[in-house]
Amino acid sequence: MKRVIICDDHELVTHLLETWLTLDTSLKVVGTFNRGLEALKSIDSLQPDILIQDLQLPDVSGVEVIQRVRETNSTLRIYAMTARSDLARSALEAGANGCMLKDESPEELLRAIRSDLRGGVWLSPMLAAHFFNANKTVASLKLTNVEVSVLSHINKSNAEIAKMLLLSEGRVRNVVSGIYQKIEVETREEAMQWARNVLFLTYD
């Protein structure tokens, strides 16, 4: 039997998830939490096999919870749930094994848990479609790898981006100008909003 803990700041959501998951006799919910720090403290004592993690919490972000778990635990399966598709990429980069949107059927969560990842990650059908469309957009606009990398840090100054990506500041300036032309925006704020909505990028 697999031991599960659930972390979501809405008690109704944790109750509904617990009820749904217990329909599968191979799963046992051993703890529910409304704060990320509480969930982190429970892992050593409860020894769960699976963590269901909301990404928006009142104390720490769900992405931070995932990062902190992965610092010491590489085997715990983590499935992220979010109302914001732009957070999904960050959750996967932090080490989540899978991700789904909150407005999808809870049946998708059971499919995730039952899936054989074989070293890969699980995406719900809705998120998979979002990411597929994002990749199509990158290809159709002919955004280069450098442009995508710069766009990922467009909230920072040209000098900061140049230092991070080991480029000259002049090169970054030219790349930013090219990005603006391709995605048809005029300001950094507009570029960030486009990247959030279309490529599901997140910014600090």
Output the tens digit of pLDDT for each of the chain's 204 residues. 899 999 999 888 898 889 888 888 899 999 999 999 999 999 989 999 999 999 999 999 999 999 999 999 989 999 999 888 778 888 998 999 999 988 888 788 888 888 765 667 888 888 888 888 888 999 999 999 899 999 989 999 999 999 989 999 999 999 999 999 999 999 999 999 999 888 888 887
How many CA atoms within 13 Å lie on the side-chain side of 74? 1
The whole-number pLDDT of residue 188 equals 94
Please give the backbone phi and psi of residue 134, each rounded to the nearest 5 degrees, phi first: -65, -45
| CB distance 91 to 80 below 8 Å | yes
Q: How many CB atoms lie within 10 A of CB 178?
A: 15
Do strands 27-33 and 2-7 pair parallel, antiparallel, or not at all (unpaired)? parallel
The whole-number pLDDT of residue 119 equals 62
From the list 28, 27, 35, the residue with the least C-alpha distance to 10 is: 35
Q: How many helices (H) and strands (E) does the chain have?
A: 10, 6
134-199 has CATH 1.10.240.10 classification = no
How many CA atoms within 13 Å lie on the side-chain side of 48? 24
What does the DSSP 8-state code read for residue 87? G
Domain extents in the chain: 2-126, 134-199
The CA-based diameter of the chain, rounded to the nearest angstrom, is 60
Q: How far apart are CA 47 and CA 39, in angstroms?
A: 11
Enter the CATH code of domain 2-126: 3.40.50.2300
Q: How far apart are CA 150 and CA 105, in angstroms?
A: 36
